[in-house]
Chain A
């Protein structure tokens, strides 16, 4: 059974930093691209970032480019999102998401974590 468990969310002041983690199990982690998707309170879904199975290719939404960094440790089956220079508009639930097609980055998501809430406020 595929499981994705996010952690690391919390309250942070504007300009601060936070690192999210996603522990994956139930599939061959290194074979699949992964993503972070966020949802602001009461709003829709927004792609944040994606990373290939090897970690060699990464994609970012314009809204986070230069501030967020996606990475993965395939030896630990863990996905990360380093978030710097956080803004109030980054407040959202952040979901870890597994890409459906092995070896393909740009594809749909077949599994989602339950999400971790990041609140940026003074």
Chain B
């Protein structure tokens, strides 16, 4: 079973600054990695799939990179609406696994 870890657990960033979130898999998941954003009281929203492809309607300030076991989500210039929890998810094989999440809050 693949275990996903994310770092840091919390990231404090000022609006307009860059945020870099990390996700690591306990074994290779190739590029079968997605990122989701979740705001309080809302369902998750797909941001990135295939490690680096933005989902429909996702702004260009969100970018994903990596393959194998190491992945990164970068938000180039944080907007007020970007403060949320971000989860990575591997879908290389079952059981699919989510990471524990990174909370991005206002510095």
A9 at the binding interface (Cβ < 8 Å): no
Task: Output the nearest chain A residue to B99 by Cβ-Cβ distance.
Answer: A44
* Contact (Cβ within 8 A) A47 B43: no
Question: A-B pairs with the 8 shortest C-beta distances?
Answer: A108-B34, A112-B43, A45-B98, A108-B49, A59-B94, A44-B101, A44-B100, A47-B96
* Contact (Cβ within 8 A) A106 B94: yes
B3 at the binding interface (Cβ < 8 Å): no
Contact residues of B: prevailing secondary structure: loop
Give the contacts of B59-92 with A (CB-CB under 8 A).
87, 89, 91-92
* Contact (Cβ within 8 A) A100 B94: no
A107 to B90, CA, bound (A): 9
* Contact (Cβ within 8 A) B43 A108: no
* Contact (Cβ within 8 A) A100 B46: yes
A78 at the binding interface (Cβ < 8 Å): no
Interchain residue pairs with CB less than 8 A apart (17)? A44-B101, A45-B38, A47-B95, A47-B98, A100-B46, A100-B49, A106-B91, A106-B92, A106-B94, A108-B34, A108-B49, A109-B34, A109-B44, A112-B44, A113-B43, A114-B43, A115-B43
Give the residues in chain A near B42, CB-CB below 8 Å: 114
Q: A residues engaging B (CB < 8 A)?
A: 44-47, 50, 59, 61-62, 95, 100, 106-110, 112-115
